[in-house]
Each structure stands twice: as structure tokens, then as C-alpha cells.
Structure 1
Amino acid sequence: MQALIIIDMQQGMASPAAGQRNNPGAEQNIAALLDAWRAAGATVVHVRHMSRTPGSPFWPGQPGAEFQPRLAPLAREHVVEKNVPDCFVNSGLERWLRVRGIDDVVLVGVSTNNSVEASARSAGNLGFATRVVADACYAYAQTDYAGAPRSADDVHYMALSNLDGEYAAIVDTASTLATLRS
């Protein structure tokens, strides 16, 4: 069995203050995957980052911590709250998946080089068949350790390269939808 895991699609991530990002169609692709999973009666897990830093947009009770309305969980869908990038750390997610016989996970969300990458590494290391949907994730531009500015695309594609083949298969929305339907 497989699960769609939607990572950190919260209102704070949709804010322009979050920074320059890539992949403007990511939310549309996530919504298409979510709709397909729901139509198939397949397992959906929503992950929400809850900051431990007072004043953070992701501090409990802040509007930024709320799910984006189009991607909000239904009552029957599992919600995981995390305080670190990796959704498997101190969340009970691994056990929740194993109890349900889920051994295949499809990861989408934000940001590619942070929570998505950290969670994909853990999923792969824990033995889950792991897929990251490249066009249903996005990253933000940032400066690298050497001080060079990197575009959001650079950051996104490097994170996917870090995962590809070692921890996860990198796929796209169309192929993922085709696999779900078969």
C-alpha cells in the first residue's frame, strides 16, 4: 500500500515574505495528486510544521501555521505535526504507516531542500519505497556556504539530485497519477 505525504503546505509558505521560489505550478500539481488519492480512497497524510520559536509564522495559533485551504486535510486524513524538518522524527509517522501496512510513500510539498529532502532521506533509510514528485515540490533561492547566490531552481534541482537513486526515485505528477490509476 502507498500513502501520499503532503509536507508543510501551510499559509506561511504561500506568503511572498517566504522568498523567491521556483515551480509556481507546484500547488496545482499537489492538488491534482490529492484529488486523485482521495478519489481512489488511498491514504493521505498531511504534515504541518509547528515552530518552537515564538514569533515565527509557524508558531501554534499563527495564521501561517494553518494549512492552505485548497490543500487542507479532510477529517478522515491523518495529520502529523513536527518541530524539525524531518516528518519522521518524534512524530510517530513511521509506526502509523507500518501499522497500516504502508510501505510505499509519495512525498510532495515544501521546501525541496529542507523538509522534503530530510523526510525522503529518512523514508528511504527506513526501508520505504520512496518517491519525490519533482514538480509538486518547490524551493527558495538562497546563498550557498561559499557566499554564492543560488536560484530557487538551483537549490531545488540539487536537493533532488541528492536524493535520486540513493534515498528516493524522482518522478513527476503525470507519471505518479498514471501509476496510481494502474
Structure 2
Amino acid sequence: MEIEQNAALVVVDVQKGFEEEYAGYWGRRDNPEAEGNIASLIDAWQASGRPVVLVRHDSRSKESPLHPGSPGNAFQECVERRRGLGSGPELVVSKSVNSAFYGTPDLDGWLRRAGVRQIVVAGIQTNMCNETTARMGGNLGYEVFFPIDAMHTFDLAGPFGWTATAQELTRATAVNLHGGGFARVVATRELLAAAGAR
């Protein structure tokens, strides 16, 4: 795996509204190591001068913990305390839909102006905004890396009384993206090694 010097790390929706105090809203999550792995990726990208994109979801629903003006809309500390610390470019994107490519400012335009061809998608939730961003990134022609252990999701109910656990959703997302050719699903340690992190 080769990670280019200008590969962008896209950190999706790592906001306080997904923290433990809001568990009653979202339900049971998977991967308790997610935030630590996300922090390691940000550290490595900042240390190497690579671009970092921080995406914030501004929910249109006033009941959502992610609604603008609510405490849950803010970035989690593992992201907030790292803002502005890198020597490379940093961008904050606000969105109200699943894909980070439909936000403000325009992510695709920013990446293309910088000559970026590779993106790494990490954050919350695996099968929602992360997967949508990765799929769209692949469709737009980027080489997408998807560190499956640097994200998490929640149990979910669907139609016909069907349900899926967070672990099942994570596995389905990994198979869909990797098997479908949208992204390369990897582990955080692989990315850190390829990016030259110590």
C-alpha cells in the first residue's frame, strides 16, 4: 500500500452527540477503539504535513444531538484538541446530509485544487456517512482507503422487523465497499505504517 504525500484524511462527524451520554438516542455501538485509532491517524497526518479534513454534521432535526447550537454538535475532544496543530492544510466541512462531498465548502473542489488523488475516510458512522462518503469518493475517481477500526456505528432496525447489530453492519459495509471496488478496507496500523508514522 502506497500513501501519497498529499493523501487527505477525511474525519467524518466525530462529534460529542455520539458520545456515551447520548447512548439512549443511538443505541448500542461497536468498536470502543475507534476514537483512539482516529486520533492516531490525525496525529500521523498532521506530523507528516498531509491534509486533514474535519467534517461536522449539522442535523436539520431539532431533536438530534447533532443539531447546530446543541452541545452534541461540537467536535469530540480527540478531534478538537488537535485542530490547527498540523503543518499541512486543514479544512472544516459542514454538511446536513450523509456525504461529506455535499457540504460547505466544496470538498471535491478543495481536494482537486490541491491535486489530491487519495483519501482516507474515518469517523462516525461506519455504514452511514462514512460509507456514503467513501462510495461517492470512489465514484468521483479518488482512491479511497477505509480503516474499518477507525470508526464505529450502532445497532439498527429496518423494514419487516429486520434488525442488524453494529458488528453486522460494519461487516456488511466492509464487504460492500471492498468487494464492490468503492474503497480499500484496511486496518489503522496498515495505514500508519504506509504513511511513515512511527
TM-score (norm 2): 0.87
1:176 to 2:181 alignment: no
Give unpaired runs (5+ residues) of structure 1. none
CA offset at residue 80 of structure 1?
A: 0.3
Equivalent-residue separation in structure 1 for 2:175 and 2:130 (angstroms)? 13
Q: Which residue of 1 aligns with 2:174?
A: 160
Partner of 2:50: 42
The yes-or-no answer on 1:107 pairing with 2:118 is no
Task: Check whether the contact 2:10–2:121 (CA below 8 A) recurs between aligned residues.
Answer: yes
Shift of 1:150: 1.5
**1:21-170 to 2 correspondences below 5 Å:** 21-72=29-80, 74-75=83-84, 77-91=90-104, 92-165=106-179, 166-170=181-185
Counterpart residue type for residue 83 of structure 2:
L
Residue pair 2:17, 2:65 contacting (<8 A) in 1 also: yes
Partner Cα separation in structure 2 for residue 157 and residue 56 of structure 1? 26
User: 1:10 offset after TM fit, Å?
Assistant: 0.1
CA drift of 1:171 comes to: 0.4
Q: Distance in 2 between matches of 1:70 and 1:28?
A: 8
Q: Secondary structure at the residue paired with 2:28?
A: coil
SS at match of 1:52: coil
Look up the SS of the partner of 1:107 in the other structure. strand
Percent identity between matched residues is 38
User: Counterpart of 2:10?
Assistant: 5
Given that 2:126 and 2:151 are in contact with CA atoms closer than 8 Å, whether structure 1 keeps it comes out as yes
- Alignment check: 8 A CA contact 2:93 2:103 kept: no
Residue matched to 1:16:
23
SS in structure 2 at match of 1:181: coil
Question: Displacement of 1:90 after TM fit?
Answer: 4.2
Q: Which amino acid aligns with 2:40?
A: A
Distance across 2 between alignment mates of 1:161 and 1:122:
16
Kept in 1: contact 2:53–2:91 (CA 8 A)? yes
**For residue 130 of structure 2, what is the amino acid of its counterpart?**
V
Compared CA separation, residues 90 and 10, structure 1 to 2 (3 A): closer
- 1:12-40 superposed Cα distances (whole Å, 9 cap, x missing partner): 01132221011110001001111111111
Aligned length: 182
Whole-Å Cα distance in 2 between the matches of residues 90 and 34 of structure 1? 21
